[in-house]
Amino acid sequence: MIKAILIFNNHGKPRLIRFYQYFAEDLQQQIIRETFHLVSKRDDNVCNFLEGGSLIGGSDYKLIYRHYATLYFVFCVDSSESELGILDLIQVFVETLDKCFENVCELDLIFHMDKVHYILQEVVMGGMVLETNMNEIVGQVELQNRMEKSEGGLSAAPARAVSAVKNMNLPEIPRNINIGDINIKVPSLSPF
Amino acid sequence: MSFTLLGCGFLRHLDDPMQTLEAMLRPKVASLPGHIQAVYVQNAAKLFATVLQKHEGATDSQAAQDTSQLLIERLPLFVQSANLEVQERASCILQLVKYIQKLQQKDVEVAEEVSALFAGELNPVAPKAQKKVPVPEGLDLDAWINEPPSESESEDEKPKAVFAKEEPKQSRARHVEVDEKELARRREARKQEQANNPFYIKSSPSSQKVYQDAPGVEHIPVVQIDLSVPLKVPGMPMSEQYLKLEEERRQKERADKKKKDKKKKKREKRGKGKRDDSGPESEEDITPAHQVDIVTEEMPENALPSDDDDKDPNDPHKALDIDLDKPLADSEKLPVRTHRREVLKSPEEDGDQDGITQEAKRRSSKEKKEKDRKKSKEEEKKKKKKKHKHVVEEEPPEPLSEEPVQSEESAEVAAPPTSTSAEASDLDFWLSSAPVPPPIKEALAPKTSIAAAPDSEPDVPKDAEPDEEKSLKNKKKKQKKEKDEKKKKKRHHHHHHHGDGGGGDSVQNGTVEEEEEEEPLPPMSNYCLLAENSYIKMVYDIQGNLQDGSQVVVSVIFENKSNSFLKSMEFNVLDSLNSKLQRPEGASPHDGLVVPFQLPPGVSNEARFVFSVQSIVMPQKLKGTLTFIVKSEDSSTHEKLDFKLHFTCTSYLITTPCYSDAYAKLLESGDLKSSSLKLEGLNMPFHHLLARICFHHHFSVVERIDSCASMYSRSIQGHHVCLLVKTANQTVSIDAKCDEPSLLANVLDEIKQTFSQC
């Protein structure tokens, strides 16, 4: 299973952080720093797999990373995941990002954080890999975008909620409930 | 155990070699450590040679053959040993013995040759021995034996750079190198410090004691141990005796030398007292007991002596090796003190204060439509103290525009603190006449993302503008022309971006990348034309008020185009529900505001009017009128000029700096609506684009990476507007997020308009 997905830039600034196992906030920050130290020291022509730092679980977990220009994509996985598979997954993720945002750059990860998380959720959910086919993922993301647009986005949500409630067909509520000696009068709810 | 076996090497003294041989080759030996086994095996072979020699002659051929058979039986166990040395020795000897056995069966005399195998002494191997073996003719050690691996795969991995451009990675290699060198340097420095530091407790005082004890070796009592087997090997001196013999020999030689030297030196230096020959000096001259002839016997074929190899040309201590007895060569000259002349730097160069190259872009007003506007107001030079004690002098090209225009235009001149003489007096004048608070700075110049000073003083009242003298005005015109020629760019340095200067690094709020090759920004102005007629021309600019979220300040510059005197100007605006002109107490909505100055012919001046607005999400247009009296020599006439005051949504935005962490948090929260815009066919360089957006629409750059930048602004009522500007080829895409969708849409429209006009 994938324990964490970290994306940070060449200076160690985190751009996207996703932990699939609970860590306290400060521990998360320490993990990010430690991972950055481990990964930034590596030359470009050495192996992309290394053992996790002590904070993240030590030698039981591996860090699989890829370095693109200014960003490091680091996946922390345990022994059940195939390293080469995860390496390819990183590539798929990046290519998907590139397709969804034209000319993707670091700042896109911050600016369109919600979209990036949607894409990531299509790929990995709860630490498990869901989808590895790039076209599938892109298709799903586009579908979601279309639905968002048709619904009018977030601003239209309250209006839709109200109309949905209005259209609710509630069954008849009895006015009086008589059980034995007990009489309960049910108050009427006025439609709004 | 191994040492006793080495003693076995002196095998001629053994009584019963056969027995020893059997004992040595017992299977139990295989349980000993590897290096001991190796010695065993080697000595077994030596013993075998002795045995053979002993049983020389045909009579004892059976014994010799028995020995060979014994070896052949026992050695395979060692051939299978895990220790490589043992294995190697055993297998060699086994093969040798097998061959000897064959020869024995043919009745060939082998004993002589076999013992010759173990004759002679082995000398130690020099470390340079391998190097000295000459490479045989025709052998190229660097040539590939197999095909070199193909280099083409690496190109396929990244056909396109996904995240901006790939940058050269030397920075990291350098980083590692520096580390190692740094470490070595620091280590050296530390050691030197500690050596001289009396307070530093050095590591091992005990080691010194050891050295002191060395001469006291003789004081150690030697105890005679009663052993059944004497340790003495006849014919050779015992170990202590060997040392004693050696010592005696050295002393004898030393004494001989001393006698020789004393004879010489007595003649030269009498009465000098006892000479103390230091130990090491004389020992070098004493001939060693054991000489090894290296050149003829030990060196590989055709090898050359390489005693000079040690002299490393990069040795930092090579100067210690110089022979001081030789006189100075002609090429070696000692430096002599001579008179030198310092070239004085010109005062201009001093102007680059603290090594900062500051250049200000002089905005030439010629580009603007208001070209004919004569500047009657002097340009003021203001000194601003920056965070890092860098003094920056700013000069607004607009005479009447104070902070708002300055901030937007970023026209700064890097005037040296010691200004040229022509301006020095002006400097004092300007400084005394109008002490102006530090101007607002906007992120304007290329790659600068600074909004250093807060936008806190847009509404400083500037009503008391003195009227101008013509003489001053002319002087100012001249100055302006000078500065026009200077055309420099402004640079702010809050802190340098170390290491990588090139693209790919994000430039954040407060950092600057030094880029020397960027084009200068075109001059920009936020003042738009309000109304114009033959007498007067008005241009205006709107600024939001930071303190009060519902107020905006409209600065209007009135310019007298005519040749007559204009006075009693009144400015009135029809209020709307949303926006109202702030009038003084007691005034009715129909009264205009009196403009507090008069305009002589050809003179401009500025006035500010405060408006209060309620909702800022929509642009507004207000109708207004300016009434004035034109007074010429003979007559006075009333005149009127109508105008429409346009409040754009951008006029409600205030440049606010934002750090990238806060920005990320803001975007994370998710209550922002988003929208986007695409501009096609835009040719301007990226920093121009950013500068324009910052300037005209009051944004500040939060972070910038190459051709992608995130920007931020805030409205006077606290709405956040975030932009992501990306450029690719000729297309610019702007993604925007804001609390208010209508504000967002309007701002984007206005941005679109700005760029459609240029």
Query: Which of A139-143, B234-238, B373-377, B670-674 is most confident?
Result: A139-143
pTM over 0.80, yes/no? no
Give the C-alpha separation, B281 to B600, whole Å: 103
Rounded to whole angstroms, the Cα distance separating B115 from B363 reads: 103
CB distance B164–A70 less than 8 Å? yes
Residues B420-426: contacts with CB under 8 Å, at least 24 apart: B420/B347, B422/B479, B423/B381, B423/B479, B426/B378, B426/B381, B426/B475, B426/B479
- Name the residue among B607, B548, B546, B550 with its Cα closest to residue B579: B550
- Of residues B205 and B253, the one with the higher pLDDT is B253
Q: Which residue of B has its CA nearest to A117?
A: B668
Residue B345 has pLDDT above 90, yes or no: no
Dump strand ranges (E) for chain A.
2-9, 14-19, 49-51, 62-68, 71-77, 124-125, 128-129, 176-179, 182-185
Taking an 8 Å cut-off on Cβ atoms, the answer to whether A69 and B166 are in contact is yes
Give contacts of A 16-45 with B, CB under 8 A: 40, 43-44
Q: Which residue, among B452, B449, B433, has the nearest Cα to B388 in the 3D structure?
A: B452
A–B CB contacts, 8 A cutoff, strictly below: 87
- A56-61: average pLDDT: 83
Beta-strand relationship, B720-728 and B731-738: antiparallel
Residues 6+ apart with CB under 8 A from B683: B730
Lowest-confidence region among A3-12, A49-58, B483-492, B594-603: B483-492
Of A76-85, B138-147, B284-293, B635-644, the poorest mean pLDDT is in: B284-293
Subunit contact A13:B660, Cβ cutoff 8 A: yes
Residue range B476-492: average pLDDT? 44
pLDDT at B436 over 60: no
- Among A95, A105, A114, the residue with its CB nearest the CB of B705 is A105
**What's the average model confidence in pLDDT over B210-239?**
63
Q: Which of A82-96, A140-154, B25-39, B469-483 has the highest mean pLDDT?
A: A82-96
Closest CA to A6 of A36, A43, A38, A51: A36
Mean pLDDT of A70-90: 92
B650 vs chain A: nearest CA distance in angstroms?
21
- Interface contact A111, partner B, CB < 8 A: yes
| pLDDT-based confidence at residue A16 (cuts at 50, 70, 90) | very high
β-partners of residue B629 are: B567, B638
**Average pLDDT in the B356-385 region?**
40
Q: Is A153 on the interface with B (CB under 8 A)?
A: yes
In this prediction, residue B286 carries a pLDDT of: 58
Share of chain A above pLDDT 90, in %: 51
Partnered with residue B721 across adjacent β-strands are: B713, B738
Q: What is the mean pLDDT of chain B?
A: 68
> HSE on the CB side for B184, CA within 13 Å?
5
What pLDDT does residue B664 have?
86
- Does residue B120 register a pLDDT over 50? yes
Let me know: does B165 contact B503? Beta carbons within 8 Å. Answer: yes
**pLDDT-derived band at B629, boundaries 50, 70, 90:** confident
Whether B698 has a pLDDT exceeding 60, the answer reads yes
Mutant choice from B154, B158, B163, B723 vs A, greatest count of A C-beta within 10 A: B163
ipTM of the complex: 0.76
pLDDT band at A19 (very low <50, low <70, confident <90, very high): very high
Instruction: Give the tens place of pLDDT for each residue, B25-56.
Output: 888 887 888 888 888 888 888 888 888 887 76
The CA-atom distances, in angstroms, between B212 and each of B206, B208, B215, B246, B305 are 10, 6, 7, 22, 38
More confident residue, B132 or B317: B132
Q: What are phi and psi of B436, to 5 degrees?
A: -110, 140
In chain A, the largest separation of any two C-alpha atoms, in whole Å, equals: 86
DSSP string, B385-432: E-TTS-EEEE--SSSS--HHHHHHH--B----SS--HHHHHHHHHHHH
pLDDT digits (tens, 9 = 90+) for B177-216: 567 888 888 888 888 888 877 888 766 555 455 455 455 5
Q: How far apart are CA B758 and CA B367, in angstroms?
A: 13
Average pLDDT over residues B478-491: 44
Q: Across the interface, do B726 and A106 touch by the CB < 8 Å criterion? A: no
Question: Given CB atoms, is A113 within the 8 Å cutoff of chain B?
Answer: yes
If DSSP states are collapsed to H, E and C, what string results for B491-521?
CCCCCECCCCCCCCCEEECCCECCCCCCCCC
| Burial class of B604 by CB neighbour count within 10 A (0 to 12, 13 to 18, 19+) | buried
For the segment B565-588, the average pLDDT, to the nearest whole number, is 83
Q: Terminal CA-to-CA distance of chain B, rounded, Å?
A: 97
* CA dihedral for B603, B604, B605, B611, sign (positive or negative): positive
**Whether B705 and A107 lie within 8 Å, measured CB to CB:** yes
Assign B674 a pLDDT band (cuts: 50, 70, 90): confident
SS3 string of B677-739? Answer: EEECCCCCCHHHHHHHHHHHHCCEEEEEECCEEEEEEEECCCCEEEEEEEEECCEEEEEEEEC
Model confidence at B221, pLDDT cuts 50, 70, 90, reads confident
> What is the percent of chain B with per-residue pLDDT over 90, rounded to a whole number?
1
The nearest CA of chain B is from the CA of A59 a distance in Å of 25
Beta strand B708-715 with B700-705 is antiparallel
Distance from CA of A176 to the nearest CA of B (A): 45
Predicted pLDDT of residue B467: 40
Locate tokens 């045989």: which residue?
Answer: B136
